[in-house]
Chain A
């Protein structure tokens, strides 16, 4: 039985998905990564609806890595909706974005994001960031009780 921690990656950019998957594969915890590529699917996944309405009881991810620029429902709206629901309101969410827009940063904090991180450029820095994220959110941080 797999008891690796589970991370939901909400990211539409294929290059960034590949970078993240590669970095996590070489990491200490080897978390199970689920990739969804737009905001609707992220909500379907978290609420077990629509395209993900199959599993009756499923553990929530230990961490959601959320891009902001997504097709359809954007990242900030995904965050707002999951913070509204009792079952997902405490799930740790880290915004991972190239955006430097102050409105995005403020919007993220005001909607209850746990942390806001800029995507590093280049594989070495990206891998280092993944390692740090993993150690902080999957090892050090005390997850909200289920």
Chain B
């Protein structure tokens, strides 16, 4: 059986690399798929565009979403996911450097399941990724297909 997938939407290459390295280190047997902008996130989720032909039923167990993305922003991705029956119940964790109360409120209001600050440094990043994986891949019960 395929490993559970985590979709990471992150345009900052350094942050994406940190998370990929941290994910390798946790060895929880989930596959991390990284996309660099909001359009590609939706293409991945709906198996269109650059991800046409992918099995759209193979949904990620959690989406980790940066807010500040080029083009379509993270909140727009979240809104689009929540409007679509096939993706509206996928847990979304917003991962961001933003401390702005308006971003946090908007994220929750659009149906984000959780909001997490980007830590600084590899050790803290690794710990956070391990925690996110354990919680959302192993403990949380996902909605049936």
Contact = CB atoms under 8 A, between A and B. Distances in A.
Contacts of A116: 140-141, 143
B144 A117 contact: no
B89 A106 contact: yes
Interface size class for chain B? 20 to 34
Contact of A142 (B88, B109, B115, B134): B115
B81 to A, nearest CB: 12
A73 interface: no
B105 A105 contact: no
B73 interface: no
A9 to B, nearest CB: 18
A90 B140 contact: no
Contact of B105 (A90, A102, A136): A90
Interface in B97-121: 101, 104-105, 108-109, 111, 113-117
Contact of A141 (B91, B116, B143): B116
A115 interface: yes
A129 B109 CA distance: 27
B143 A106 contact: yes
A7 B139 CA distance: 19
Nearest to B93: A141
Tell me what chain B mostly uses at the interface: helix, strand, loop, or mixed: mixed
Interface string B74-93: 00000000000000110100
B134 A132 contact: yes
B104 A145 contact: yes
Interface in B15-39: none
A144 B105 contact: yes
A110 B116 CA distance: 22
A48 B65 CA distance: 35
Chain A interface category by residue count: 20 to 34
A89 interface: yes
Interface string A129-142: 10010011000111
B104 A144 contact: yes
Nearest to A99: B141
Interface in A65-98: 89-90, 92
Contact of A114 (B109, B113, B143): B113
Nearest to A105: B143
12 contacts: A90-B108, A102-B144, A114-B113, A115-B91, A116-B143, A117-B141, A118-B141, A136-B131, A140-B116, A140-B128, A140-B131, A145-B105
Given A136-B135, A140-B131, A141-B116, 5 more contacts: A102-B144, A105-B141, A116-B140, A116-B143, A129-B139
Report, nearest first, the 3 A-B pairs whose CB atoms are least far apart.
A109-B89, A145-B101, A142-B115
